[in-house]
Amino acid sequence: MTDPTENTTPTPVQFIAPDGSFAPNAGADEYRDIAESIDDAMLQRMFHDMTLVRAFDVEAGNLQRQGQLALWVPSHGQEAAQVGSAFATRAQDHVFPSYREHAVGFVRGIDLMNVIRLLRGVTHGGWDPKDPRNGNFHLYTLVIGSQALHATGYAMGIALDGASGTGDLEADQAAIVYFGDGATSQGDVSEAFVFAASYQTPQVFFLQNNHWAISVPVTRQSRTPLFHRGTGFGIPSVQIDGNDVLASYAVTAKNLDDARSGAGPRLIEALTYRIGAHTTSDDPTKYRTDDELASWVARDPIARFQTYLRARGADDAFFADVAAEAKDYAADTRRRTLALESPPAELIFENVYTDEHPLTAEQFDWLERYEESLEGGDAR
């Protein structure tokens, strides 16, 4: 961790070098025991999840280009930051995403078809965060930075309920919120820092710095490393190599346990890169160079991790099985997307109020009469 007054350029915590070798740097010393405690089975599950979500992401982008989705938000390149941190969460934790955390949602248990449904416009939220099958994974948030406030408020509630700081790490809760470099320029994030620091909330702010807020480079947004935003509010903060899944896991695990134990909020800045467009409505060739993109493609988190796993003894059969499963997963995503149907009109009225309400009943009756007045009797 850094002193809030320190202004030096950091060396991000790293375990796996870009060439795939295990080369922990000095910043990794504090977390080395955690990283080295991960067994081969868990490492291979991490690789499996990173690979399947990459295949899903590519297929979803193709579906959007073919007119099956209104929009797609790629996560290509950020798999290590997301999978590592998601594996570090405990079952009782609450996760607050932005709109690009497909891998986090996958690890926590949501059916990624719910993200497809959301961006196809056939659902009003995507999934129920209260459903145990969804692993306390809250809804995607398109209003930039607002999820930081949601997470902080929830974390305040955890503390006020006495559900953290009891000394039982298997039961104590924490919240983790994901946001990007662009969100750090939003007032909501600064306000979340204020309340988190003031109330010493049990939460981790997980900043994925993918270097571009649509077309605005991170160098335009801050003259200093972004993790200093946290230290400026008195929140212990650390910067990691976001393309290193071991660094993401180990640092997040320690910081979540510190937060849940009553030590207050933490911030992690994961240096990564958005390989694709901000969304499919964006053209990144208009604002970044081919050389910059190539330099980050060479640091691909999945390729790096594969080299590391091979050095640990993972064989060709393992990687072939994962590749085959990823191909099937992408094909199944396409099949299920093409089978989606439009929702019934009454769906929009169902969750306006907890109980049946005469106003929404009146509005639905009006809609039915209006549709019946049209040629064919259906506005859809």
Taking CA atoms, 246 is separated from 4, 93, 130, in Å, by 26, 20, 30
Q: Which of 222, 317, 254, 201 is nearest to 85 (CA)?
A: 254
Give the Cβ contact number of residue 261 at 10 Å: 17
Q: Which of 56, 101, 109, 107 is nearest to 86 (CA)?
A: 107
Per the annotation, the verdict on 287 as an active-site residue is yes
Per the annotation, the verdict on 357 as an active-site residue is no
What b/e string do you get for 361-378 counting C-beta neighbours within 10 Å, with b at 16 or more?
Answer: eeeeeeeeeeeeeeeeee
Q: Which of 176, 187, 154 is nearest to 97 (CA)?
A: 176
Q: Which of 128, 120, 140 is nearest to 340 (CA)?
A: 120
> Cβ distance 313 to 40 under 8 Å?
yes
Give the Cβ contact number of residue 194 at 10 Å: 13
Which of the following is catalytic: 32, 65, 133, 287? Answer: 287
Any bridge partners for residue 175, and if so which? 94, 203
Give the Cβ contact number of residue 156 at 10 Å: 19
Which of the following is catalytic: 274, 299, 304, 308? Answer: 274
The C-alpha atoms of residue 29 and residue 36 are separated, in whole angstroms, by 11
> Cβ distance 252 to 204 under 8 Å?
yes
Q: Is 366 helix (H, G, I), strand (E, B) or coil?
A: helix
The first and second tokens of residue 195, run together, are: 């309340």
> Cβ distance 231 to 3 under 8 Å?
yes
Give the Cβ contact number of residue 260 at 10 Å: 27
Q: Is 371 helix (H, G, I), strand (E, B) or coil?
A: helix
List, in sequence order, the alpha helices (H) in 259-352: 290-297, 301-311, 316-338, 347-350
Which of the following is catalytic: 108, 117, 266, 278? Answer: 278
Per the annotation, the verdict on 370 as an active-site residue is no
Q: Is 73 helix (H, G, I), strand (E, B) or coil?
A: coil
Catalytic sites, residue numbers: 274, 278, 287
